[in-house]
Structures are given as C-alpha cells and as structure tokens.
Amino acid sequence: MHRLRFIGVAAIGALLAGCFTLLPARGVTPELGSQIAFDVNDAGRVALGPTMGPEIAQIEGRIIEKTSEDYLVAVTTVRLLRGGQQVWSGEKVRLRAEYLGSMYERKFSRGRTVAATAITVGSFATLLGIAAVAGILTDNSGGDGKPTPAGLTRRPPP
C-alpha cells in the first residue's frame, strides 16, 4: 500500500512540475508578465556585450514593460553562442528592438510532461520492485521469525 502511495505522489509531482518549451511567437505581441526568449543579433551582442557578455545568443525572461522601441525584461537565462547558459535571478535589462531577432514564447508542453511523468513513475516502480525482490523493504526488526522463550534475550548473530 505504501508503494502505491509513493508512486502516486511521484506521478503528481512530475505532473505539477510540467515541462515547458519555447515556441516561435509569430505575429503575436506578448503580454506583460509572459515568459519569452529573444534571439540576439550581432548588433545586440556588440551593444549588450559590456553588461551581459559578448557571446549572447538568446535571452530568456519575463516581460515587465514594452514600448515601441524596447522591452524591459526580468532576465532568467542567457544562452551563449558556443553552448552553455547562465542562470540569472530576474535582473532587469532593457533590450532595444533592433538588437533582437526571433521571439519565442514559453509554453506548457503536454507531450513532454506525459513522457517525463511516465519515465518518473516507471523508474520509481522499477526501483520499488527491485527493492522488494532484494528484501530491502521487508520488516527486519531484529527477529528471525522464531518465537523467543519467556525470560530470554535474543542477541543478534556475531
């Protein structure tokens, strides 16, 4: 019974965490507060290089403000040209529109979430099965299953 409860909690945790993906935002103006990512062009790398680093490929974050000329973004991730990424903690950066290329919106991915949940639940079930077969989950509270005569103390084997 405990095993089923454990598997259920693991499945719910995986579903609540969910998986997200970046999808192109074609012709859509993002709403304030939405999670977005922008590809940075060469002009943007030159302009933003002194404050954010010279090898920026993409900036991801939450839109705080948008004007006709720029975006104010609370940056969460900076992806680099040669791979890798830097995690930011919501620092506000003003990004001029001429520094940016394609825009992406962060969306919930049902397929990825289902796959991650199936893998998580399957892994936990397999581990619990292996533990049960190996006897790890059985009750070994010090006795060998034989009754102890009254007045005697059972000692563990040497």
CA-nearest of 108, 43, 44, 36 to 72 is: 36
pLDDT (0 to 100) of residue 140: 54
Contact present, 94 and 75 (Cβ < 8 Å): no
158 residues of the chain, pLDDT tens digit each:
565 666 666 556 655 555 766 667 766 677 888 889 999 999 999 999 999 988 999 999 999 999 989 999 999 999 999 999 999 999 999 999 999 998 888 766 566 656 666 677 777 777 777 766 766 655 555 555 555 566 566 666 76
CA-nearest of 102, 86, 82 to 51 is: 86
For 20-108, CATH gives: 2.30.30
pLDDT (0 to 100) of residue 87: 94
**Residue 119: how many CB atoms within 10 A of its CB?**
11
pLDDT (0 to 100) of residue 110: 62
d(CA 125, CA 127): 5
Q: How far is CA 67 from CA 29, 46, 47, 50, 101, in A?
A: 11, 22, 19, 23, 17
pTM of the model: 0.57
The sign of the dihedral angle between the CA atoms of 68, 70, 75, 79 is positive
Contact present, 25 and 40 (Cβ < 8 Å): no
